[in-house]
C-alpha cells in the first residue's frame, strides 16, 4: 500500500510511550507521533542522550529514564508512566533493542539480548497494562526483525546456559520472542474482552545505530570506534533511511485499519525495503502452544504478573 507519515491521523489527546527514543527508529517514531498531536514519553537508557533527543521534538514530549536490561528500572519507569499519564496510555511502542553484542548478562542475570529485547519489554507491557486498559482502543506495537526467521530459538534455554553462545542466534531468538509475545498478547486481550490491539512490525533493513554500536561493543577501544564508523558508512549504502524504515511501526501504531495480531513491514524483495504492508511471520511465531509457554516462562523469569492473566 502507498502509506507515508503524512497519512498519520490527528493524535491530539493521545499519550504514547516509545522505548529507545534517543536515536534511530525510536526517535523518529517519537518525533512523528508528537508532530501529529500526541503527548510522547521518550523512554531512554541514557539521560544525557535522551535530553539531546528531546530537544529535536517539536511537539509535546518528556523524557523517561528506562533501562530495559534492569528490571528494577523497568518497574520504576512503569510507575512513572502510570503517574505521569494519569493511568491512561493510548500507545506503547516497544522499539528499543540491542543487536549481536558480545556475550553478556543483564542486571538480573539474563542473556543480554533476550533480557533487553524481550523480557524487559514484556515486563514493561504488563506493568503499564492498567494504563492501557483505561484507554479506548489502546495499542501495543512490538518491533521485531526479519532476523526472527533465523534458527536459534530454544524455550528451555533462553539464556544460553547450556548452549554455546552465538550472538546472531541470540538476536534471532529475541526477535522471534518479540513476535510470539505480540501475537499471544492479542490472544489474551481478546479472551479478556479488552479494547486493545497488540501488533508487531519490523523495519526491514534500516540505517540505524544498531550495527555500528554492535561493532563498537564487540571490538572496543579506538579500533572499535574506527570500525564502527566504517560499518556505518557501509550500512548507509544497503539500508533504507530511517524516515522510510520507521513507517511499518508508525503505521501499526496509528493507522485506523490496523487489526490485532498482525505483523507489518516492507513488502519489497525479502521484506528488506518497499511499501508498508503485511509481513510474513515464521510459522512458529503463530503457534499458540509456544505463545502460552513463552508467556508463562517470561512471567517466571521476570517475576512480573502477566496482564491480562
Tell me which residues are annotated as active site: 171
3-state SS track over the chain: CCCCHHHCCCCCCCEEEEECCCCHHHHHHHHHHHHCCCEEEEEECCHHHHHHHHCCCCCCEEEEECCCCCHHHHHHHHHHHHHHCCCCCCEEEECCCCCCCCCCECCCCCEHHHHHHHHHHHHHHHHCHHHHHCCCCEEEEEECCHHHHCCCCCCCCCCCCCCCCCHHHHHHHHHHHHHHHHHHHHHHHHHHCCCEEEEEECCCCECCCHHHHHHHHHHCHHHHHHHHHHHHHHHHHHCECHHHHCHHHHHHHHCCCCCCCCEEEECCHHHCCCCEEECCCCHHHHCHHHHHHHHHHHHHHHCCCCCCC
What are the grid coordinates assigned to 195, written together? 479494547
**Among residues 96, 179, 82, 84, which one has the least CA distance to residue 126?**
82
Angle between the 71-84 and 120-127 helix axes, to the nearest 10 degrees?
30
Amino acid at each position: 500500500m502507498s502509506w507515508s507519515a503524512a497519512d498519520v491521523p490527528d493524535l491530539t489527546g493521545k499519550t504514547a510511550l516509545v522505548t529507545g527514543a534517543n536515536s534511530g527508529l525510536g526517535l523518529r517514531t517519537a518525533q512523528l507521533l508528537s508532530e501529529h498531536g500526541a503527548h510522547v514519553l521518550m523512554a531512554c537508557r541514557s539521560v544525557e542522550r535522551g535530553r539531546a533527543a528531546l530537544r529535536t521534538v517539536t511537539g509535546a514530549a518528556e523524557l523517561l529514564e528506562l533501562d530495559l536490561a534492569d528490571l528494577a528500572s523497568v518497574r520504576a519507569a512503569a510507575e512513572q508512566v502510570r503517574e505521569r499519564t494519569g493511568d491512561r496510555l493510548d500507545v506503547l511502542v516497544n522499539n528499543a533493542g540491542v543487536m549481536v553484542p558480545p556475550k553478556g548478562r543483564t542486571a538480573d542475570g539474563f542473556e543480554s539480548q533476550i533480557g533487553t529485547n524481550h523480557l524487559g519489554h514484556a515486563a514493561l507491557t504488563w506493568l503499564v497494562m492498567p494504563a492501557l486498559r483505561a484507554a479506548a482502543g489502546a495499542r501495543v506495537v512490538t518491533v521485531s526483525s526479519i532476523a526472527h526467521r533465523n534458527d536459534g530459538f530454544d524455550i528451555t534455554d533462553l539464556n544460553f546456559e547450556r548452549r554455546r553462545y552465538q550472538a546472531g542466534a541470540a538476536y534471532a531468538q529475541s526477535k522471534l520472542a518479540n513476535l510470539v509475545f505480540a501475537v499471544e498478547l492479542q490472544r489474551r486481550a481478546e479472551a479478556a474482552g479488552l479494547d486493545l490491539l497488540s501488533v508487531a512490525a519490523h523495519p526491514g533493513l534500516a540505517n540505524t545505530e544498531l550495527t555500528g554500536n554492535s561493532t563498537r561493543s564487540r571490538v572496543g577501544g579506538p579500533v572499535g570506534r574506527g570500525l564502527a564508523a566504517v560499518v556505518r558508512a557501509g550500512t548507509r549504502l544497503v539500508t533504507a533511511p530511517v524516515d522510510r524504515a520507521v513507517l511499518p511501526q508508525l503505521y501499526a501504531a496509528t493507522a485506523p485499519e490496523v487489526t490485532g495480531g498482525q505483523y507489518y513491514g516492507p513488502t519489497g524483495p525479502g521484506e528488506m525495503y518497499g511499501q508498508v504492508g503485511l509481513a510474513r511471520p515464521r510459522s512458529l511465531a503463530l503457534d499458540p502452544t509456544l505463545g502460552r509457554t513463552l508467556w508463562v516462562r517470561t512471567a517466571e523469569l521476570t517475576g512480573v504478573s502477566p496482564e491480562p492473566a
